[in-house]
Structure 1
Amino acid sequence: MRRVVVASAVLAVAGCSGAQEAGPQAPPSRPAASTSAPSTPSAPPTPAAVFPGETWQRADAGDWSNLDAELSAEGSTCVAVVKDGVLVHDAYWNGGAPGSGQRIYSITKSLTALLVGMQADDGTLDLDDTASEPVDEWRGTDAEAVTVRDLLSMTSGRRWSEASDRQMIRATADQTNFAVGIDQQRPPGQAWVYDNAAAQTLESVLDDLADSDDVVELATDRLLDPLGMRDTTWARDAAGNALTYSGAESTCLDLARVGHLMLNRGRWDGRQLLSADLVEQLTSPSSELNAAYGLLWWTNAAGRVVEIRRQAGFADDLPPYEGRLAPSVPEDAFWALGYGNQYIAVVPGENLVAVRLGARPSSPDRITFDTFTAGVLDGLGDAGG
């Protein structure tokens, strides 16, 4: 039985803390003879998608010497690469092991987005409805205008500061209550701010909708168990609230299942766990304020990019720039990102999923969205064709 991690969440860096405000300056053989009418040849049937059972099917392929050398030297504990539903490579260093879970920090946010999307599919919420319907404390206040989509897109207008962020993460027992109680700084949609507290308010949204009134149980029933994520746990704060901004623990092989679900547009071995429409919304730009951000997932769309290097634990963010997060890889790529440049990378056009977990790299230019994903594609080489 899966254990439930109960933690006081003294997560000094657990929430991928550090936010950069992006203001409203948006960019942007020859046929046999026949007397009957010729028929239109039908396309060959699409092969059935391959899904893992208790373990991944595997067929080692590719040359991983360059990628593995960099990953191991930069503190990685594991990497997993899944191509066409088959595990083609995994490796472990620095104390990592196939079933050894580790904190995945803000990758937790991306998992939370799946739970919210499932509720939208169920019809129990609309992403564009006010979040004050489930969050009672916001009714009749300036926060009443904030929608669920605003919280997911980091455009909620909730007040944010590094001091407040640290206080919630390091010194608050009831983190949901703290997050809900923060003031509204501006109307939603005017700025993009990477905000851990805004993501934690989604616990209050989901708690109101969950049959059990417990978001950890919701996550277990709707996501972890259906995907077979046996080595994944979802943490709580000291008050018993699920942590929806950070804190889950998982493995490279378990998180590859999440990537494979997203690659298959929400379908898992005959079941539609999340609608294709919701997958599209989560992994497409949600605001011109940051073309690189969907709904708690990162995208590779072109436009004004706000990249949060402090999320990885580095001192300074890059200024906003025009371009793409990963110019060396296909535009359809998207990612879940956690502190220390931990990734779930998905490249739909290549039918590819890759996961990297481990410590923060030695510099912000190591194991980036671009270099990690490009390194995986290079490793596949001819095997990726």
Structure 2
Amino acid sequence: MFKGLSLFLLLISLTAHAEQWPGEQWPTAPQIAGPAVDALETYAFASRNDATHEGIRTDALLIIRDGQILYERYAAPTTAQTPHLTWSISKSLLATLLGVAYGEGRFKLDDPALKFYPALDKHPAITLGHLLNWASGLDWQEDYEYAPLKSSVVAMLYTRGHRDMAAFAAAHDSYAPAGQAFRYSSGDSNLLAAALKSMVGPQRYADYPWTALFEPLGIRHAVWESDASGTFVASSYAYLTARDLARVGLLMARGGRWNDRQLLPEDWVAFNLKPFAGYKAQQDEAVPGGHWWLNRPVDGAPSPWPDAPPDTFAALGHWGQALYVMPSEKLVIVRYGDDRDGSYKHNELLKRVLQAVRP
């Protein structure tokens, strides 16, 4: 009897060791050190000039392996308690939230988007799946500082579209048939956020990100701004601490499962991580999936981050925000920054992280 009980407890111990989950706090592993870590820090945390905003300006770097904190560093004023602006990581966060709604049977990928957002009535062919692939066909210009006068996203966030961002996006004309061509669009993301409101109902909508996703993951300090119409700004304005964002990464790294609960259906995660068939590869650009970015070779082009495993995927945001997930390495990496000049390179950071964590 005691021999059988000892074996049972040993198996439980091995299982617990193999798969760590954060509770209120993240478990920690012995922190990495050595020349490779020094090289990583030299790259990520170079001396920063806050007056000129030049160079690589990392605010936070958090490395999780096997569900445990392996490395963590911040640059003032950001701390472990700071909900950081994620910019377009918000888009992947929305995709994760939509995965919960999908699992609840609230929509199908091939549903027409106007079923949930009637303002798209002049674009009846657009489906929710098209929006998730950034393939609505809407003539959207995702230009930032380099072309603000032509920018749809600047107008949406700051000028004539800011009160009702989804309505502003829906009013755009088409440049291509829905589902045939990729064009990155913050408008597509905010149309999805407006559709979610119809899916769950206006009474539940304001709390839905918290009750459906944040609370099950143990995320306590998230902020997600809404526009004047009450629609979440899913393109840009979610704020999370690095540790809280890492929980979303761990959820995705483990196929949508959190502890013993399948929070995201497996087929939803598979859609997120499937390259959009209409994408034409561009050098050094990550490949679009379902509102996530993939390190996949497509269309004869090499992987965009050649020093990272091909199963690497990411949520990416303006000015260097990044959530990287490497399932084969059991790694989740959060990097927040304030990069303004293009100095920061995804592949370089990932290469140095892998050199630092590998024996």
Name the TM-score, length of structure 2 as normaliser.
0.84
Which residue of the partner structure matches residue 304 of structure 2? 325
Pick aligned residue for 1:298 from 293, 297, 320? 293
Equivalent in the alignment of 1:247: 237
CA gap 1:75/1:274 in 2 versus in 1, 3 angstroms: same
Matching of residue 380 in structure 1 with residue 350 in structure 2: no
1:57 to 27, 38, 44: 27
Question: Can you list the C-alpha shifts for 1:321-377, whole angstroms capped at 9, x where unaligned?
Answer: 82211111110000000111211111100111010002015434x2x2211222211
Paired position in structure 1 for 2:112? 130
Distance 1:290 1:277, change over 3 A: farther
- What is the SS of the residue equivalent to 2:223? coil
Q: What does 1:170-319 align with in structure 2 at a 5 Å threshold? A: 170-171=158-159, 172-213=162-203, 215-290=205-280, 292-304=287-299
Cα distance in 2 for residues equivalent to 1:66 and 1:361: 22
Which residue in the other structure is 1:348 paired with? 327
Once the two structures are TM-superposed, the CA of residue 130 in structure 1 deviates from its matched residue by 1.1
Q: Where do 1:135-150 residues align within 5 Å?
A: 135-139=117-121, 141=122, 143-150=123-130
Tell me which residue corresponds to 2:7: none
What is the match of residue 309 of structure 1? none
Does the aligned pair in 1 maintain the 2:119–2:167 contact within 8 Å?
Answer: no
Alignment of 1:19-30 (within 5 A): none
> Is the Cα–Cα contact under 8 Å of residues 157 and 190 in structure 1 kept in the other structure?
yes
Distance 1:346 1:290, change over 3 A: farther
Q: For residues 288 and 378 of structure 1, what CA distance do their matches in structure 2 show?
A: 34
Secondary structure of 1:125's match? Answer: coil
* Structure 1 pair 151–301 and aligned structure 2 pair: CA distance change class (3 A): same
Amino acid at match of 1:83: R
Task: State the secondary structure of the residue aligned to 2:70.
Answer: strand
1:104 maps onto 2:99 in alignment: no
Q: What is the CA distance between 1:290 and its match in structure 2?
A: 4.4
| Aligned twin of 1:67 | 40
- The 2-side partners of 1:56 and 1:370 are apart by 27
Q: Is residue 72–residue 94 contact of structure 1 (8 Å, CA) maintained in 2? A: no
Cα distance in 1, alignment partners of residues 203 and 320 from structure 2: 33
What is the CA–CA distance in structure 2 between the aligned matches of 1:346 and 1:158, rounded to whole Å? 30
Structure 1 counterpart SS, 2:113: coil
CA contact (8 A) 2:88 2:316 kept: yes
Code of the residue aligned with 2:43 in structure 1: it is: E
CA contact (8 A) 1:83 1:351 kept: yes
Q: 1:175-196 CA deviation, whole Å, 9 max, x = no partner? A: 1221222223321123211111
CA deviations 1:152-206 (Å, max 9, x no partner) are 1011101213432221111121212212222233211232111111111011210
Displacement of 1:46 in angstroms is 6.0
Question: Which residue identity does 1:187 align to in structure 2?
Answer: P
Greater displacement, 211-220 / 243-252:
211-220
CA contact (8 A) 1:212 1:218 kept: no
Q: Deviations over 1:211-252 (max 9, x none)?
A: 444544111111111111112211112332211111011111
Partner residue, 2:140 = 160
SS of 1:322's equivalent in the other structure is coil
- 2-structure distance, mates of 1:209, 1:92: 39
Give the whole-Å Cα distance in 1 for the aligned partners of 2:137 and 2:183.
8
Could you list the runs of 5+ residues in structure 1 that have no partner in the other structure? 1-44, 305-320
Is the counterpart of residue 121 in structure 1 residue 103 in structure 2?
yes
Task: Give CA deviations for 1:269-315 in whole Å, capped at 9, x if unaligned.
Answer: 211110122112102212241461101100011014xxxxxxxxxxx
* 1:302–1:323 CA contact under 8 A, matched in 2: yes
Please tell me the root mean square deviation across aligned C-alpha atoms, in Å.
Answer: 1.8
Higher helix share: 2
CA–CA separation in structure 2 for the residues paired with 1:290 and 1:215? 36
User: Match for 2:347: what amino acid?
Assistant: D
